Every structure is written in C-alpha cells, then in structure tokens.
Amino acid sequence: MDIFISWSKERSKFIANALSQWLPDVIQRNVRPWMSASDIAPGERWNQKVAEQLAQSKVGIICLTPENLTAPWILFEAGAISKTYKDSFVYPYIHDLGELELPGPLGQFQTTTADREGTRTLVRSINSALGADGLAAEALERSFSRWWPLLNKEFKKIPTLEVEPDLPMRVDVLRHTSEAFKRSARF
C-alpha cells in the first residue's frame, strides 16, 4: 500500500521523514511510504511525481504543526488523497496542536497525535486498511512496542517552534508594498 506523507515547513518535514523511515519497520508488509523530499530524484519534475503519487495513494498522513495549518500544498494534498470518500484514508498527524485547532477542510478528519498513543492508533488504522495483508493484532502490538522507542527518540529532536516577534509594520513599508502590488498586477 502506498502511503503519501504530506509535509510543509521544517518541523513537519522532520516528522514526515522520521515516519517514512519508521513505518515499514513496524507494519512490515506491503507498506510503501512516499515523501517528496526523499523520493523525488534530482532532475525529475517534482510536480509530475507528486501528482502520480497522489493518484495512486489511498492513504495519506498529513504532518501538521502550528506553522503549516494553512499551507497551500498541505490543503491540496489532503484534498487529492481524499478524492474518493469510500476507499481513502486521510490521517492528520498533529504535533504541538490540539485536536480542535484544525481549520476548514482538515477539521473534517479524525486526527492522531504525534505521541505514543496517537501513533499507535495511526499504525492500527493503517494496518487495518491493509486487510488480509496486515499483521495480526498481537504481532502489530509487539512490533509497535519494539519500534516506538526509536521514533520517539527522533521526535525528541524535533526543532522547537521559533516565534517571530510581532513587530508593527511601518506605514511607509505598507504603502511601498501596496504600490508594488498595483504595478505588478498591470498587464
């Protein structure tokens, strides 16, 4: 099963990368995570590769952090994965967020948290989507218990969110930006 792992910005990319390496070790069967940062070779057309992968993936993990909730590509990829209601699974995987903080279209999906229990729920759900190709419940629990410490160790390295101070914009900067926008909008 192809699993599209969506990310945007540094911390989300860190989580996505850790998950993409970890999932095949835990589920062990027919699980092929795909992440644009590591699965598009230099020189390939990235937009074509992303479109191809979105078309064949019925499972998507959307790595969400406070700084990427409204990122255009996150929303696009979540929508593309959920293209069919019947056979697709979209898993918002949240870090430093409450479950009720998801806006708009992302809020329609049940979330999982980037902690032990949330990740266990995610793995169980993906394994269940595999049907007969999934691991037996007991084997999955043993595998999860064995591999969780490695993912948790990686998650402890997630960079902290650096919040930029709220600086008031000067009026002359706003005026210059507005004038530049007007000039660029002319044909």
Q: What are phi and psi of 180, to 5 degrees?
A: -65, -40
What domains appear along the chain, each with residue ranges and CATH number?
Answer: 2-160 (3.40.50.10140)
d(CA 81, CA 38): 19
d(CA 76, CA 126): 21
DSSP label at 99? Answer: G
Predicted confidence pLDDT, tens digits, the chain (187 residues):
899 999 999 999 999 999 999 999 999 878 999 999 888 888 989 889 898 989 888 899 999 999 998 899 999 999 998 886 577 899 999 999 987 778 878 888 899 999 999 999 999 999 999 999 999 999 999 999 999 999 999 999 998 876 543 333 433 343 344 444 444 444 3
Q: What are phi and psi of 172, to 5 degrees?
A: -65, -30
d(CA 16, CA 23): 11
d(CA 35, CA 20): 7
